[in-house]
Amino acid sequence: MARSKTSNAWLQEHVNDQYVQMAQKDGYRARAAYKLTEINDKDRLIKPGMWVADLGAAPGSWSQVAARLVGDKGRVFALDILDMAFIPGVEFIQGDFREDVVLEQYLALLDGRQVDLVICDIAPNISGNAVTDQARSMHLCELALQFAQDHLKPGGDFLVKVFQGYGYNEYMAEMRSTFTQVLTRKPKASRDRSTEMYLLGKQKKA
């Protein structure tokens, strides 16, 4: 079946994308690795020995970055509804974290300990309906924030991808009630046309 002009244009852009080329060269599974790398270079989120929760982790480029930075004494706990190939230093649970049984499996990995950092680059399956997609995205972000509120240690940080639109202001207000400081980040690796941005909650309140 012939590709549409739109998919051909996307493929051409993807092939020519400098971050796609860099990811292939550097061994990362997706260009998203450079979004986390840039934010981390600026904000120093990930340090050796940390315990990091990576929500919506597949295909695993953020887990790759986190595992490299926490080193042998740190741990990375990844979760996604999609399968994810093994990454050294990363413990992975496949499942939908909206389901209690999946969340319980994931929490069992933590063994009662709170994590130092929660990162979340999650996005819903896109339906093409902007209103529906925004609502789904915000729901996942709310679940990630709830996880951080419950399982991030006091003083810990939370990095989450959001899309500006319905529910954004309310979400930002909830972030501000949870963290000492909330910063916005738009890394260079984010495509210009994308409405995505990253919210960084610094120092969870006790």
Contact 78, 65 (CB under 8 A): no
**Prediction pTM value:** 0.89
- Return phi, psi of residue 125, to 5°: -60, 130
- Annotated domain spans of the chain: 31-204
Whether the per-residue pLDDT at 8 is higher than 70: the answer is no
- The predicted pLDDT at position 12 comes to 59
For 31-204, CATH gives 3.40.50.150
H or E element at residue 199: strand 196-204
Whether the per-residue pLDDT at 39 is higher than 50: the answer is yes
- The predicted pLDDT at position 17 comes to 78
Catalytic option among 42, 73, 161, 205: 161
Active site (annotated) includes residue 205: no
Distance CA 185, CA 198 (A): 5
96 is in an annotated binding site: yes
Please name the residue ranges forming H helices in 54-161.
Answer: 61-70, 100-110, 130-151
121 is in an annotated binding site: yes
Tell me the mean pLDDT in the region 9-24.
Answer: 70
Q: How confident is the model at residue 6 (pLDDT cuts 50, 70, 90)?
A: low
